Structure 1
Amino acid sequence: MGFSDQRFNVNLSILYTELPLLERPAAAAAAGFTAVELWWPWVDAPTPAQSELDALKSALEDAGVQLVGLNFYAGQLPGPDRGALSIPGEESEKFRANIDIAADFAASVGCKALNALYGNRVEGVDPAEQDKLALENLQIAARAADRVGAILLIEALNKPESPLCPIVSAPKAIEIVDKVNEATGLGNAKFLMDLYHLSMNGEDLSEVIEKYTAKTGHVQIADNPGRGAPGTGDLPLADLLDQLKKAGYDGWVGLEYKAGDRSSTESFGWLPAEARAAR
């Protein structure tokens, strides 16, 4: 099987960043892709003007690409932040203000997956207080996602690049997924399995796939080392995606890697053109 039997989408917050936001969907379409994902595009605006939301919706529709994943507001990405929902005060308030806006936008474009990044530990704040706040916010987010027929994604990051984030292993992310589902009774919280982050943590990726595919709602890939395109590092990504497929995963695989010295379109040379359009 390998790469030719997957449903890939392009992350427009890490690829095509050489272009303005509203030009990126068309660029992905021109490269042969029919699906994309985004971090929250307005890092300084959890509640953007309706005109900005409408413009992004039009850009997606005009390009003929489907938005399949969207982050809730998560602070400065890329940058020092790793989410907002566990940060007491202004950042948590921004996350809450964003929840229904993000969910309603997702509904308007048919996006069925919303990713909620946990956030960093804050010096001087009891971790238990942050975790209590996080669970409260994740319950609100899960209910908003459910309202629009979407899943809530919980992602494990990696400790070397995110040393202040407490969600830096697959088991820890699964623990949060289970807590949210138990608290809401909805069952729509799922694991976002980012193979790059997990590999940076030194986790056994085959074991992660074996244990947690059933609770996985989305997958993202980049090679390691370097966070580049498949083939630029040492990860057996084609084999890992085959294992995921055999374990029952038939969802999206987000290309969340850095193009490096090449253009974003040139970075897709590893993937045949006929395998880019979702089937």
Structure 2
Amino acid sequence: MLKFAANLSLLFTEQPVPQRFAAAAAAGFAAVEIQFPYDYPADALAAAARAAGTPVILINVPAGDLMQGGAGLAGHPQRVAEFAAALPLALAYAQALGVGMVNVLPGRLAAGVGRRQALATLAANLARAADYFRPHGIRVLCEPINDLDMPGFLLRTADELAALLADDNSCDVGMQIDLYHMARMQQDIPQLLRRHLPAIAHIQFADAPGRGEPGSGALPLAQYFALLTELGYTGWCAAEYRPTARTQDTLQWLPPLT
């Protein structure tokens, strides 16, 4: 049976972040993830997670100005020092929260930077991050994101990410795949899962179009979950959608799967 986690950055936003852990547990989620937890003290989040009994499985490494429309850090040749400086902060939060995976967002192609140079920078930063977190038992992931929602994004598909990672066999970086983003890129998701599952360390999902809860769009998410079970996927599936109503009122899909 698949394991489902709640993304607390998008779900249960009716409450402050520290209270979302208990809400996720009450709804039936076995774990949670947070995109960028850095606005809250790590010890306060850790206490909330312990009290709710919901382990935190993943956070993102700080991404600079990415979420405000900028290029971010990981693929920017002039921001290598900023990326390196973000790693200790991510490690401090990961250790406080007991996180086993951290995600590096590739970012957008920066103005005046060639794609080849940006990809080389990203590859070097991923290798640096993997080396940094490995001694602490934390695995680094990387995620492609569709360039309709985030124009100029550096890696847009699982194939593009796989090609980047294949260039450095010594770099143990896992793939984080969001089914919503792949659907927006018109990818054949069953084929994608069959091809890349050995390298996929984490899966996120939302329906498409709209990025709402399962059943709000056109994606056959139940079929994808069945395929993941058939293929023997043992990682987490994280609900990272924008609820079309109160979060608690959009969870009809969850009980049949848990």
TM-score (norm 1): 0.85
**Is 2:239 the counterpart of 1:255?**
yes
**Is 2:4 the counterpart of 1:15?**
no
Which residue is equivalent to 1:55?
44
Deviation at 1:131, TM superposition (A): 2.2
Moved more, 8-17 or 77-86: 77-86
Q: Which runs of 5+ in 2 are unaligned?
A: none
Say if 2:119 and 2:164, in contact at 8 Å, map to a contact too.
no
For these two proteins, the number of residue pairs brought into alignment is 258
CA distance in 1, matches of 2:198, 2:121: 27
Q: Which one of 16, 32, 39 corresponds to residue 35 of structure 2?
A: 39
Q: Provide, for residues 187-219 of structure 1, a one-character-per-residue CA deviation record: whole Å limited to 9, x for no partner.
A: x31111111100100011111011000110000
Deviation at 1:263, TM superposition (A): 1.0
**Is 2:69 the counterpart of 1:80?**
yes
Q: Which runs of 5+ in 1 are unaligned?
A: none
| Aligned residue identity for 1:58 | A
Say if 2:28 and 2:255, in contact at 8 Å, map to a contact too.
no
CA distance in 2, matches of 1:214, 1:172: 16
Which residue is equivalent to 2:194?
210
User: Match of 2:180, SS?
Assistant: helix
User: Match of 1:114, SS?
Assistant: strand
**Is 2:224 the counterpart of 1:240?**
yes
Q: Provide, for residues 125-156 of structure 1, a one-character-per-residue CA deviation record: whole Å limited to 9, x for no partner.
A: 23333222222211111112212212211111
Say if 1:32 and 1:273, in contact at 8 Å, map to a contact too.
no
User: Match of 2:167, SS?
Assistant: helix
CA distance in 2, matches of 1:258, 1:79: 18
After superposition, where does 1:60-209 map in structure 2 within 5 Å? 60-76=49-65, 78-81=67-70, 83-90=72-79, 92-180=80-168, 182=169, 185=170, 188-209=172-193
User: Match of 1:131, SS?
Assistant: helix
CA distance in 2, matches of 1:66, 1:39: 14
Deviation at 1:179, TM superposition (A): 3.2
Which residue is equivalent to 1:225?
209
Deviation at 1:77, TM superposition (A): 6.5
Deviation at 1:173, TM superposition (A): 1.0
User: Match of 1:217, SS?
Assistant: strand
Say if 2:10 and 2:241, in contact at 8 Å, map to a contact too.
yes
User: Match of 1:265, SS?
Assistant: helix
| Aligned residue identity for 1:255 | A
TM-score (norm 2): 0.92
CA distance in 2, matches of 1:175, 1:136: 14
Say if 2:2 and 2:257, in contact at 8 Å, map to a contact too.
no
| Aligned residue identity for 1:259 | P
| Aligned residue identity for 1:156 | P
Q: Percent identity over the alignment?
A: 32
CA change 1:229–1:124 in 2 (3 A) is: same
CA change 1:241–1:82 in 2 (3 A) is: farther
CA distance in 1, matches of 2:194, 2:256: 30
Deviation at 1:274, TM superposition (A): 8.2
CA change 1:98–1:30 in 2 (3 A) is: same
Which residue is equivalent to 1:271?
254
Say if 1:193 and 1:220, in contact at 8 Å, map to a contact too.
yes
| Aligned residue identity for 1:177 | L
Deviation at 1:29, TM superposition (A): 1.7
User: Match of 1:33, SS?
Assistant: coil
| Aligned residue identity for 2:106 | Y
CA change 1:82–1:233 in 2 (3 A) is: farther
